[in-house]
Every structure is written in C-alpha cells, then in structure tokens.
C-alpha cells in the first residue's frame, strides 16, 4: 500500500519542477539543485536551493477558527503540477502545434493562469481592493445597524443584488481572511483567465543559448498604451519564460500568425530579461551569474530604452 504523503507546510507559488530548469550547470544533476538569485531592491547575488525558492508556509492552507488547516488547494495544485512536470521537458525542447483547439495549449494556458493567480502578491492586492471598497461604502448613507443603504450594484452594465448583512465582518477582515479570499479567487478565476489566454495570439521565441531568466513572479502582464488595463484589454501582452531557451508571448497581434515559433536572431535576450527582472516580486532567478545578466540589461537599456 502506498504511504500517504504528509501535508506540505512549505508551499511553492512557483512550482519546483519549473524552477529546476534554471539550475546552475554544476548543480542540475544533484539532489538539491541551486540557482542564482538577485533582489530587485538590495543585496548581493547568491546561490539558493531551488526547493526553498518562492515558498511560504501554509500559503494555501490557512488555519480556521478551530486551528485546523484545509489542504484541498495545495493538493489540487500539486496534482496538476505532476501532470505538467511530465510534459515540461518536451514543451521546453520540442516543436509542437499550439493551435487553439489543442489540449496542450489549454493545459499551458491553465498553468500560466494558475501562476498568475497563486502569487502571494495577490493577497496584498486583495487587501488593497478591500480598503478601496470600504472607503467607498463608508461614504454612503447607513441604516440603523451601520450598514450601507444599498440593495443593488451595477458593474459593466449588469446589476447585482447587494447583501449588506455581514458588512461589519467584511469591514473588519483580517489578513487570514484576505488569504482565504485569495485562495477562493484562484478556484474562481483559473479557468476564465485560461480562456482569455487561449484566445490570444501565441508566439514562442527560441534562443540558441540558455540566456533567459525567470523570477518569483514569472507571468508578466504589460500594456504599452494604457495605464489601467486588464488581460482582455487591447494591446495587453502576457509574457512567460518557459525555460532558459524559450519565452512564450501571448498578445493580440493576430496578423503575424498564431502558434508560431520565432528565432531570437538579433534581438538581445536582455530585452526580455529586462521585463522579467522588473516584474519580479523581489528576486530574479538565473542559471548564470546575475552580474552577467545585469551587464547585458544595462547595455540593452543604454541602446534601446
């Protein structure tokens, strides 16, 4: 009988199987591979055990009022990672058809969607949105219980019933409750966001050498035309480093052709590494020494930015 695996206290928000692609050459075959990291804020480059990178204790398993933890989300994520881990070597090296109706495209889109949603920075974002809503609700007239006197709200032309009965509890939400909101959002938004990504134009940029970096926030969402934008906004580009040799770009440049591979050619890898490093929560990750990466980025920004 297979021994039941113990619940994981240390939970990755960037999966370990993915991080192993950025192991240094002298450690990639070892039990505990290492990678180079550098903070966007301060500090010197250092090597770290990749099993310890992008982890937080009980990230998806906060304790309830009785001190018990639910590992449902962690187990579901781990199960999906196991499937993707088997496919990733081929995704990183082979040339596949990523057409819109392929299962592989759907699987990668869901993987990127989950990476986008499960980042702990979203807990802080949830807290910020909560604060903005409370500021708005507090300016409204109140009933005898101190709840906002509204029964319906309209969002993008649609009207929704507003239940103010638990407003006091919502107003006084704790960090643990923000964490639960964050987890609920992963379950609620994973498929809708994956569907948005599936319908973008896909391009896989291929380099000859292992020059691309990644970070503790590897899904980069940018829009050069707008300050306020969403994944579905015209001009929004989603970039994701697949491996040190490949970058997936999802955008709306459909005229270029969908699901194609492009050689890096004369484009310096620093143009992508510049965005990846700048998007990090705190750390970039590389199989090369960060001093080399930073030198390439400085040269790139001097010439092109």
- Distance from first CA to last CA of the chain, Å, rounded? 59
Percent of the chain with pLDDT over 90: 73
Q: Where residue 2 falls among pLDDT bands split at 50, 70, 90?
A: very low
CB atoms within 10 A of CB 217: 21
DSSP state of 26: T
Residue 195 has pLDDT above 70, yes or no: yes
Instruction: Give the mean pLDDT of 90-107.
Output: 91
Residue 170 parent element (H or E)? helix 167-171
Domain ranges of the chain: 10-119+175-304
Q: pLDDT of 32-75, one tens digit each?
A: 999 999 999 989 999 999 999 999 999 999 998 888 999 999 99
Radius of gyration of the chain (CA): 21
Enter the tokens of residue 127: 């807290």
Q: What is the mean pLDDT of the chain?
A: 92
Helix (H) or strand (E) holding 28: none
Q: Which of 119, 88, 89, 47 is nearest to 285 (CA)?
A: 47
- pLDDT: is 283 or 228 the higher one? 283
91 has a pLDDT exceeding 90: yes
**Confidence class for position 167, pLDDT limits 50, 70, 90:** confident
* pLDDT value at 286 more than 90: yes
| Inter-residue long-range contacts of 122-131, CB under 8 Å, 24+ positions, other chains counted | 122/182, 122/185, 123/175, 123/178, 123/179, 123/182, 126/178, 126/181, 126/182, 126/185, 127/175, 127/178, 130/170, 130/173, 130/178, 130/181
Q: What is the pLDDT of residue 4?
A: 46
Average pLDDT of the residues in 110-115: 98
Backbone angles phi and psi of 55, in degrees to 5 = -125, 155
Query: Cα(300)–Cα(296) distance, rounded to whole angstroms?
Result: 6
């Amino acid at each position: 009988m297979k021994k039941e695996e113990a619940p994981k206290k240390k939970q990755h928000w960037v999966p370990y199987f993915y991080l192993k692609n950025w192991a240094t050459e002298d450690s990639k075959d070892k039990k505990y591979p290492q990678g180079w990291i550098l903070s966007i804020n301060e500090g010197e480059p250092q090597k770290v055990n990749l099993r310890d990178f992008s982890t937080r204790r009980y990230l998806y398993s906060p304790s309830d009022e009785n001190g018990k933890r639910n590992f449902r989300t962690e187990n579901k994520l781990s199960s999906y990672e196991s499937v993707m881990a088997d496919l990733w070597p081929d995704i990183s090296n082979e040339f596949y058809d990523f057409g819109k109706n392929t299962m592989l495209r759907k699987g990668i889109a869901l993987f990127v969607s989950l990476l986008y949603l499960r980042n702990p920075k979203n807990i802080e974002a949830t807290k910020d949105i909560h604060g903005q809503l409370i500021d708005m609700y507090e300016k409204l007239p109140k009933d005898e219980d101190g709840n906002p006197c509204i029964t319906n709200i309209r969002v993008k032309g649609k009207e929704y019933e507003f239940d103010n009965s638990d407003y006091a509890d919502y107003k006084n939400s704790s960090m643990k409750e923000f964490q639960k909101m964050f987890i609920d959002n992963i379950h609620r938004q994973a498929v809708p966001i994956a569907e948005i990504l599936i319908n973008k134009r896909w391009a896989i940029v291929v380099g000859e050498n292992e020059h691309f970096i990644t970070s503790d926030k590897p899904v980069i969402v940018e829009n050069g035309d707008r300050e306020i934008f969403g994944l579905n906004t015209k001009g929004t580009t989603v970039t994701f480093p697949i491996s040190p040799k490949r970058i997936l770009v999802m955008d709306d440049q459909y005229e270029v052709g969908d699901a194609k591979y492009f050689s890096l050619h004369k484009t310096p890898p620093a143009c992508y590494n510049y965005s990846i490093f700048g998007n990090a929560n705190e750390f970039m990750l590389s199989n090369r020494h960060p001093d080399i990466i930073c030198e390439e980025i400085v040269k790139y920004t001097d010439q092109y930015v």
